Structure 1
Amino acid sequence: QDPLEPMENSDFSAQLAQFSSLEQLQNINASVQEGVEVDLVLTQAINNSLSATVIGKIARGYGDSLSIADGEVQSKVNFKLNGPADELEVNIKDSTGTIVRTLSAKGLGTGEHALEWDGKDNDGKSLSDGNYTFELKATDASGNAVSSQSFVEGYVDSVRYDSGMAKLLINGKEIAFSAILELRESRG
């Protein structure tokens, strides 16, 4: 306050009420933020404790990885088309990003599909054990792109924790526990 021009009592009371309201809003904001952080920690703790129980199970999640182990391809090329595809091209790449094999299919409908890969390159030679990725290019009858989503499916070999987050090792690739869509028992 300016001592030469004192404030009216009602103006002073209004300013005090505004300061009090502001302080209460800041306290509410801090409480909400703490609640969100606690929820995140609890979610991570639940995921981390559950993740160890999935070792040996078959998991399906978002991803584009394939692997060859002991000369055998460990999973199929799994994907979902969001519309019918007249033509589909699947480029399989090695760890350097080089296309080693191209698979193709025609006349696929909307929905989930799986293609077999024999683990060979475009020249028919068996590829070495290791990790590979795949990329989808689907087009409809008019040549327009059809959107798709790739999946990875395989046995959960191990669980690794990174910055408090569980990551599953599936087909030689780490997949975040939060990216898993389905878990099921092995039938073999």
Structure 2
Amino acid sequence: MTEASRLSVTSAQPAKMTSQASRSPSSNYDTFLRLLATQLKTQNPLNPVDSTKFTEQLATFSALEQQITTNKKLDSVLSQFKAFSITNAAGHIGKTVTAIGNTFAIGSGGTSDTKLTYSLSGTAKDVNLSIADGRGNIVWSGKGETSTGNHDFVWNGKDIKGKTVPPGDYTLKVAATDANGKAVATTTTLNGKVTAVVSGQGITLLEIGNTKVDQSAVIRMTA
């Protein structure tokens, strides 16, 4: 292979690598610059990089730079939005809310600051209630009210054997069937006073005692 041919091959390689670098703009920005500079240094003066290809590389570099700038601006906007969201949600503190959900927290002594209500869309013949711990194990089960409408659920925080359950998250499950054995639609809600607001992983959570509720799940709020 002649020297001119070797240099021509060398100068052609960065063009392929730059397309790979553009896949992750923030981490490969410097790599792109180094490859472009190397290409200019090693090209054969008697056989320089084709002007069309070089223009394409510069256009790629410009697009990469703009993408990084856009990403930084989007991160800034997202950060401001999160700050606004948690500030706005802070107005819920002290308010009593009702939110769609069935997972609640139990504190020491088997107590909870969260009240649960389940609703039946129609009259049921049989309603089975159960409580599962954070691992999905059923720790308590019993029968529920069968009439149409809302029913408050009260649990003393004790398992099937009468022992107080340890602190943690628990989930209420409701299974209702009518006289024909068909399932009756149910809805479970959490009720309580908001004590704090926290933000994480792009969502804003309202704390009802130890129970965390997604702000978007709130369907009712009272002073």
Q: Aligned equivalents of 2:219 and 2:90: distance in 1? A: 17
2:143 is equivalent to residue 104 of structure 1: yes
Given residue 160 of structure 2, which amino acid in structure 1 is its aligned partner?
N
2:162 counterpart residue number:
124
Match in the other structure for 1:150: 188
RMSD: 2.6
Structure 2 counterpart of 1:57: 95
1:81 Cα deviation after fit = 1.2
Q: Do 1:91 and 1:136's aligned partners in 2 also have CA atoms closer than 8 Å?
A: yes
1:113: Cα distance to partner?
1.4
Are 2:126 and 1:92 equivalent residues in the alignment? Answer: no
* Alignment check: 8 A CA contact 2:115 2:192 kept: no
Aligned to 2:58: none
Q: Which has the higher helix share?
A: 2
Q: Which residue of 2 aligns with 1:67?
A: 105
| Deviations, residues 77-113 of structure 1 (Å, cap 9, x unaligned) | 311111111211111011111000012124322x221
- Answer yes or no: is 1:177 the counterpart of 2:193: no
Deviation at 1:47, TM superposition (A): 4.8
**Counterpart amino acid of 1:177?**
Q
From the superposition, tell whether residues 119 and 46 of structure 1 become closer, same or farther in structure 2 (CA, over 3 Å): same
Report the secondary structure of 2:91's partner residue.
helix
Aligned to 1:12: none
User: Using the alignment, how far apart are the partners of 1:174 and 1:107 within structure 2?
Assistant: 29
Q: Percent identity?
A: 30
- Tell me the distance in 2 between the aligned counterparts of 1:174 and 1:84: 31
Total equivalences in the alignment: 146
Partner SS for 1:73:
coil
Measured after TM superposition, the shift of residue 153 of structure 1 is: 1.3
Distance 1:155 1:93, change over 3 A: same
The two structures have a TM-score, normalised by structure 2, of 0.57
Aligned counterparts of 1:81 and 1:44: Cα–Cα separation in 2:
36
- Aligned-partner Cα distance in 2 for 1:171–1:83: 32
* Deviation (angstroms), 1:164: 5.0
What secondary structure does 1:51 align onto?
A: helix
Q: Secondary structure at the match of 2:90?
A: helix
Matched, 1:76 2:115: yes
Q: Tell me if structure 1 keeps the 8 A contact 2:127–2:177.
A: yes
Could you tell me how far apart the structure 1 residues matched to 2:99 and 2:145 are?
Answer: 25
Extract unaligned runs of 5+ from structure 1: 1-40
Structure 2: runs of 5+ lacking an equivalent: 1-77
Q: Distance in 2 between matches of 1:118 and 1:84?
A: 26
Partners of 1:134 and 1:148 in 2: how far apart? Answer: 12
Q: 1:47 to 1:181 in 2, by over 3 A?
A: farther
Aligned counterparts of 2:124 and 2:167: Cα–Cα separation in 1: 31
Report if aligned partners of 1:73, 1:118 keep a CA contact under 8 Å in 2. no
- 1:97 maps to a residue whose letter is G
